[in-house]
Structure 1
Amino acid sequence: MSFLRRTPAAVRERLLRGERLLVSAPSGEGHLAATDQALLLPDGGRLPYEEIEKASWDQRGLTVIRADGTTVRVAVTEPGRVPETLRERVNSTIVVNKHVNLPGVDGGVRLVARRKPGGEVLGWTFVFDEGLDPADPGLRAQAEQALEGVRRSMGV
């Protein structure tokens, strides 16, 4: 029996046209599945890989931190190959990941460019070092200036 036929129909029905199912795992609420485009959550939600900031696993399951700061938790006791597939797919959306020290402060900013799988660069994210205020207009201006330098040097 093929992998796709062993996957519950409720998961297969959620695939978008042309989307490929890569792996799936049962959870307390249904099935968690990774496709070539997104992580399909048991509650019917979908998380595009370019919107996932961080994912971690422990004995209780998966914790995902989205780019907007919200957290998603899924109880999965037997994740199978989902963790490594999720890591690979999220990493494939990162085009640039560069840390730049900011002048006059103790720290810097990580400049991250992301894209949809196989698509163009969607945008850049500033991840300030711990202790730096991302709302500080002076730091934002320095980060913007650093970004322009990185974009010029990398052609992105």
Structure 2
Amino acid sequence: MSLLRRLPADVRKALPTEPGERVLTFAASGEGYMVATDLALYLADGSRLPYETIDKAAWDEEGVRVLTTDGVVHRAEVTDPRRMPETVRERVNATIVVNKHVQLPGRGGVRLVARRSPGGDVKEWTLVFDEGLDPNDPGVRAQAEQALEGVRRSMGV
């Protein structure tokens, strides 16, 4: 029996999935169900988090804390995550094309991450600055942008 058939019908019908999007696994959440598809993580509160926008997902005994690349934190209570942690980890990792740390002049560096949607082309680059560096400092930002251009050229991405 497929996972799709075990997922309650009302939950399955309410998911705003894209054509061809497939359910991989699901878990009961405090507010309903958390569903992992091949393209995104759906939280019980109705949030749809495409895997290429997830920076980190941390699981503990209460549930999951998801940090997206725009800095927003989502929290969901999950008592029995089933295969959700492994599925989300695998799907997020599959979106990463490049993950390279570059030391900037002075102290610290920046992690340059290129992501793509599952099966798609590179959508965006994320610059993750080391602690202590101000990403709003024009000089630091210029150094990071220069490092990014060098990585893009050398990797052809």
Amino acid at match of 1:68: D
- Residue 38 of structure 1 corresponds to 40
- TM-score, with length taken from structure 1: 0.96
Measured against aligned partners, the alpha-carbon deviations of 1:69-108 in whole angstroms (never above 9, x if no partner) come to 11111000100000000000011111100000011x1111
The Cα shift of 1:2 comes to 3.2
- Whether the 8 Å contact between 2:114 and 2:122 is mirrored in structure 1 is yes
- Structure 2: distance between partners of 1:91 and 1:2: 24
Other structure's SS at 1:34 match: strand
The Cα shift of 1:123 comes to 1.3
- Structure 2: distance between partners of 1:80 and 1:64: 17
- Residue 127 of structure 1 corresponds to 128
- Whether the 8 Å contact between 2:3 and 2:23 is mirrored in structure 1 is no
- Whether the 8 Å contact between 2:54 and 2:67 is mirrored in structure 1 is yes
Note the residue ranges of structure 2 that are not aligned, 5 or more in a row.
none
1:7-156 counterparts in 2 under 5 A? 7-13=7-13, 14=15, 15-103=17-105, 105-156=106-157
- Structure 2: distance between partners of 1:21 and 1:2: 9
Note the residue ranges of structure 1 that are not aligned, 5 or more in a row.
none
- Whether the 8 Å contact between 1:112 and 1:124 is mirrored in structure 2 is yes
- Structure 1: distance between partners of 2:85 and 2:145: 34
Residues 62 and 2 (structure 1 numbering): CA distance in 2 closer, same or farther, change over 3 Å?
same
The Cα shift of 1:111 comes to 0.5
Amino acid at match of 2:47: G
Other structure's SS at 2:110 match: strand
Q: Which runs of 4 or more aligned residues in structure 1 lie more than 6 Å from their structure 2 counterparts after TM superposition?
A: none
RMSD (Å), alpha carbons:
1.0
Other structure's SS at 2:86 match: helix
- TM-score, with length taken from structure 2: 0.95
Q: Aligned pairs, how many?
A: 155
